[in-house]
Amino acid sequence: MLSNRFLASIHSRNESLINVTRELTINSLTSRYWQKKRIPEVCQSFTHWSNHLPWISRGEIPPRFSISYESYEMGPRITKLPEIAYGPNVSTNGFLSEFIAERWPNATTVYTDGSRLNEQVGCALYDTTNGHSRSFRLWNCASIYSAEAYAILQALVYAIELEDSCQQLVILSDSQSELSKLKNATPNSHLTFLEAEILRNAAELRKYNKSVHMIWIRGHRGIEGNTLVDERARLSTQIPLRMLVPPCFPHTDLRREFFLNLRRKWREFHSNYHAGRRYVSLFPPPTKQRWFQQLPATTPTNFIRTMTRLRTGHALTRSYLNAIQQCDSDVCLQCNTEPETLEHIFLSCPSYSAERNC
């Protein structure tokens, strides 16, 4: 896990080091020297994840320093649709139309959205003013956050292409986290390549006296434009995948895949481990959540310890003590008929019938 994250990180910011890693990986797979040695973890990571690395944005300089200070000063103006628009007696679509018309009467209105469906990612934009839409198939490892950012970036690129026919641009997105990040962006913010490009393109539009505004709207509230672009974003996941130039996704998008891969290995190890077959049969799928997490905080530690021993088969029964050579026989001393296992104590030993029936 750590070597995977290290590999993705150095790929995004240190070209010379990733080249050395590539050469070492090739050498470890082809040289006789490595036949009887353990291949370095970072080389194993490179072998497994090298097909994903070309999607990651690269640069020696952090993205926040790759754009001018003007890009922060002249970035988009971001607001949100007032909560009253979602009231029970209010037409959200009508309220939104009036909200935009009063402030930006000649605006080109563009909705954006990202989607993940069946482990495939895409995004779309929909210009309700001109009835134009665009869809984009993205890297399967891209996060929804990055998909939303890519859609917003493409809306700005689209507005630049419109030239003089777009003097006021209003982008509507249901990604609160993305718009909040852009609204509070400063040279001290840790920006991704996509976020830096959004700020740069928004500033480029404003240089030509074109206003750029972004509005956060709630998703799945029946807003027509949002519903339409959501459907287009879902359909975009079915478009054939093509490499994007330049690569634009942050290396942190791979963390989800790293985690899923780690869980798959954990489950394989859990299922195939040579010992503890009884425990595996009783509790087959391992989870991150502790079994006692739902118990009250006041639950005694001794109770948790005892129950854990019962679950794992390490209770101090004669069967277990005999297995670890701490007693000569596993026969139950109460009935002298069967091995003293947990099943025997709880279900069949006649000496505990009174406790069983109480």
78/88 Cα distance (integer angstroms): 26
Q: Please give the angle made by the CA atoms of 234, 239 and 240, to the nearest 5 degrees.
A: 150
What are 215's strand-pairing partners?
79, 172
Q: To the nearest whole percent, how much of the chain has pLDDT over 90?
A: 63
| pLDDT per position as a tens digit, 173-211 | 999 999 999 999 999 999 999 999 999 999 999 988 899
Question: Contact, 216 vs 81, CB < 8 A?
Answer: yes
- Alpha-carbon separation of residue 128 from 85, 95, 134, 166, 200 (angstroms): 19, 16, 12, 13, 24
Question: Hey, what CATH topology would domain 63-249 get?
Answer: Nucleotidyltransferase; domain 5 (3.30.420)
Lookup: tokens for 104: 């930006």
| pLDDT score for 267 | 84
Per-residue b or e along 108-134, where b marks 16 or more CB atoms closer than 10 Å to that residue's CB: bbbbbbbbbeeebbbbbbbbbbeeebb
CA distance 246 to 56: 9
- Say how far apart CA 230 and CA 90 lie, in whole Å: 22
**7 burial via Cβ count (<10 Å: 0-12, 13-18, 19+):** buried
Distance CA 186, CA 198 (A): 13
As given in the structure block, the two tokens for residue 325 are 């050579």
Q: What separation, in Å, do the N-terminal and C-terminal C-alpha atoms of the chain show? A: 51
Q: Is the pLDDT of residue 338 over 80?
A: yes
Residues of the chain above pLDDT 70, percent: 100
| Domain range annotation of the chain | 63-249, 289-357
Report which of residues 95 and 164 the model is more confident about. 95
164: confidence class by pLDDT, cuts 50, 70, 90: confident
CB–CB of 225/112 below 8 Å?
A: no
Which residues have C-beta within 8 Å of that of residue 30, sequence separation ≥ 6?
A: none
Q: Are 191 and 73 in contact (CB under 8 A)?
A: no
Q: What is the DSSP letter of 289?
A: S
CA angle 41-42-44, nearest 5°?
A: 65
Helix (H, G, I), strand (E, B) or coil at 21: helix
Give the model confidence (pLDDT) of 7-40 as tens digits.
999 899 988 999 999 999 999 999 988 888 889 9
**pLDDT 10s digits, 290-334:** 888 888 989 999 999 988 888 888 888 899 899 889 989 999 988
Q: What's the CA gap between 41 and 231, in Å, rounded?
A: 42
- Going by their DSSP bridges, the two strands 168-173 and 108-117 should be labelled as parallel
Q: How many CB atoms lie within 10 A of CB 23?
A: 10
Q: What is the pTM of this model?
A: 0.83
